[in-house]
Structures are given as structure tokens and as C-alpha cells.
Chain A
Amino acid sequence: MTPVSCSLHSNIGPVLFTRNDANLRVLSGLLVELIYKFRRGDNMSVNWAEFTPWASLIGGALIGLSSALFVLANGRIAGISGILGGALVSRDGGRIWRIMFLVGLIGSSFVYGLVTTLPQAIIEASPYALIVAGLLVGIGTRYGSGCTSGHGVVGLSRLSLRSLVATTSFMASGFVVVYVTKHLI
């Protein structure tokens, strides 16, 4: 099988879609790239060096445990965007518990650091990109009534179709934006 050059795929999108539709071009570029990867036999390159299945699984279980505690004790959904949004405007007088949850979340790295070494976070985006990202996340999560926690963890745990649609939507646009910023620009 002849190896296919990597520069080929980005030219295929516009050929498949003669209409000048930027979204379709990006999506088709992504699809074609994935198809080529499979056909070349290097079944998507997995970054084994960065892969942390156990830490991620246990960390995820802690997130699940927190959500479980929160609903079974306080009767509330541990959705971060909802809690933050509610704390900012709080119409139902439930401001204190929201602020307490946020204090715990923001202070968690401090407590974590007392017990063990805090892992390093690497932020590659520029300050300008982070401003745009923050605005999009703030507005988007409030319009969509949830984020990775409220829809992704709690909603999927409850087998909610609404949350599945939301999760699929934000994952899809996340994949597309990362494809564009990492591979096209």
C-alpha cells in the first residue's frame, strides 16, 4: 500500500464540497484525516507517554463521589457552571451553599498541596485566547444549562437524553476547535 502524504488531506475537503462552507470543510478534513490514519495502519497515534488511566479513573471516581455526596446530602446537582452562575445572581436565596462549594473547589489545590505534590498545569493558550475562551465558556454553559460536570457527569449518570445531546455538542465543537488550532492554523 502506498503511503499517503499528510499534506494531501487538507486539500480534499474543498474538492468534496464545492460550496464554500467553512464548517463542512473543517469537518471533512477531520474525517478524511482519520480515515487516512486508519488506512495507513497506524490506528490513530495514541500518546502512551501522557496516558494516565489509573490517576484519571480514581480522579474521576472522586468527582463521582462528590456528586453523589452532594445530591444525597444537599439534594443538589454538582454542576459547576450552574453553581457559579447561581452564586453570581442567586434568585432563590441559596447563595451561601453555592459560595461554600466554590470556596472548597477553589481551595482544593491548597489542601491537596499540603498532603502531596501538586501536579503542574501547562497553559498553552495566549492571554487573549483565554479571554475569548472564558467568555465563550461563560455564555455557552449558561445558555446550554450545564457543562462537563452538570451534563457530562451528572446528566450522563442519570441517562438523560438532553445531557447526552449537550455532551455530544460540546465534545464535537471542542474536537473541531482543537483540530483547527492545532492542525490548520
Chain B
Amino acid sequence: MKNVLALISGLVFGFGLILSGMANPAKVIGFLDIAGSWDPSLAFVMGGAIAIGFFAFKYAETRDTTFLGEELNLPRNNTIDKRLIGGSLVFGAGWGLGGFCPGPGLVSLGMGYSGGIIFALSMVVGMLAFELIQKNSG
């Protein structure tokens, strides 16, 4: 059941990315290009998602277990450090360069775009490189 729901969540998440325009890098770059001809649409994606997420997570905070009786794993980390900021700055640079963040990159891979495949594979390589660095430094 847990795995079926994970599959459904992934599907619905992907539908949202496609419908909202997030899966189109040109639209993402149109949003990030505030000095050019700006397309504010993606602010509405965040707005729509947070409007629902706000109440869902408020409710989740009041529960100990999920509907399926699973443990609720809400993040408890509040640390703001160089790692968080540096990592996010690096991520944003890649986001602006290609117009892809991780979700849309994977959706584009599924659509069969060569650019999406190149991006998604490079992203996986980047994540594996991170694991390697972590292992060697820790």
C-alpha cells in the first residue's frame, strides 16, 4: 500500500509539474529573467502548492502516525549554516543555467527529450559525486 501510494504521489506530482509549466525550461528561465520580459507564472505554482501544503502540514503536525499507521518523519533540523546556503547557491546557479530543477529534470527524461536525459544523468552523477566526497571526508 505504501509503495502504491508513493507511485500515485509521484504521478500527481509529475502532472502538477507538467500542467503548471515547471517542466518547460524556457518558462522557468522566463520566470528567473526579472530584468527581461518577465513571466510571473511560476510564483503562482508556489502559491498554489503552499496554499494546500500549509494546511496539510499543519494537520500532520497534530498527528503521531499517518493514515497508514506509518511513522511521521517531519524534519526537525533548523540549522542554518554554510552548507545549506552554499549548496543552495550552487543549486540555483545550475537551475538558472539549464532551467531544470530535479523534478522537472526527471519528467523531461520521461518525455524523452535528449536535453532532459543529459541533464538528469549529469544530476545523478553530481549526487553520486557528493556521496563520494562525503564518504572520503567522513
Partner-B contacts on A (CB < 8 A): 30, 33-34, 37, 44-47, 50-53, 55-78, 80-81, 84-85, 88-89, 96-98, 100-112, 118-125, 127, 129-149, 151-162, 165-167, 169-179, 181-183
Q: Using Cβ atoms and an 8 Å threshold, which residues of chain A touch B8?
A: 69, 104
Partner-A contacts on B (CB < 8 A): 2-27, 29-30, 32-42, 44-57, 59-60, 63, 65-68, 70-75, 77-80, 83-103, 105-111, 113-116, 118-131
Give the CA-CA distance A104 to B32 in the complex, in Å: 28
By the criterion CB–CB under 8 Å, are A64 and B48 in contact?
A: yes
By the criterion CB–CB under 8 Å, are B102 and A141 in contact?
A: yes
Give the CA-CA distance A107 to B10 in the complex, in Å: 9
By the criterion CB–CB under 8 Å, are A134 and B22 in contact?
A: no
3 tightest Cβ-Cβ pairs between the two chains A and B: A138-B126, A108-B14, A104-B10
| A142-B5 CB under 8 A given contacts A134-B120, A162-B78 | no
Q: Using Cβ atoms and an 8 Å threshold, which residues of chain B touch A68?
A: 52-53, 55-57
Whole-angstrom distance from the CB of B34 to the nearest CB of chain A? 6
| Residue of A131, A142, A152, A157 touching B87 (CB-CB under 8 A) | A142
| Residue of A33, A55, A121, A140 touching B90 (CB-CB under 8 A) | A140
By the criterion CB–CB under 8 Å, are A97 and B18 in contact?
A: no
Whole-angstrom distance from the CB of B64 to the nearest CB of chain A? 10
| Residue of B22, B92, B108 touching A140 (CB-CB under 8 A) | B92
Whole-angstrom distance from the CB of B131 to the nearest CB of chain A? 5
By the criterion CB–CB under 8 Å, are B70 and A74 in contact?
A: yes
By the criterion CB–CB under 8 Å, are A170 and B88 in contact?
A: yes
The residue among B6, B66, B119, B126 with the most chain A CB atoms within 10 A of its own CB is B6
| A121-B24 CB under 8 A given contacts A169-B85, A170-B91, A173-B96 | yes
By the criterion CB–CB under 8 Å, are B6 and A65 in contact?
A: no
Whole-angstrom distance from the CB of B102 to the nearest CB of chain A? 4
Q: Using Cβ atoms and an 8 Å threshold, which residues of chain A touch B77?
A: 145, 162
| A165-B80 CB under 8 A given contacts A72-B56, A98-B6, A118-B18 | yes
By the criterion CB–CB under 8 Å, are B18 and A123 in contact?
A: no
Q: Using Cβ atoms and an 8 Å threshold, which residues of chain A touch B22?
A: 59
Q: Using Cβ atoms and an 8 Å threshold, which residues of chain A touch B84?
A: 143-145, 162, 165-166, 169
Sample (19) of A-B pairs whose CB atoms are under 8 Å apart: A56-B44, A62-B16, A66-B12, A67-B53, A74-B66, A89-B131, A101-B7, A104-B8, A131-B119, A134-B126, A137-B98, A138-B130, A139-B129, A142-B131, A144-B88, A145-B77, A173-B89, A174-B93, A182-B35
By the criterion CB–CB under 8 Å, are A101 and B9 in contact?
A: yes
| Residue of B78, B97, B127 touching A181 (CB-CB under 8 A) | B97
Q: Using Cβ atoms and an 8 Å threshold, which residues of chain B touch A183?
A: 35-36
Give the CA-CA distance A68 to B98 in the complex, in Å: 29
Q: Using Cβ atoms and an 8 Å threshold, which residues of chain A touch B5?
A: 69-70, 73-74
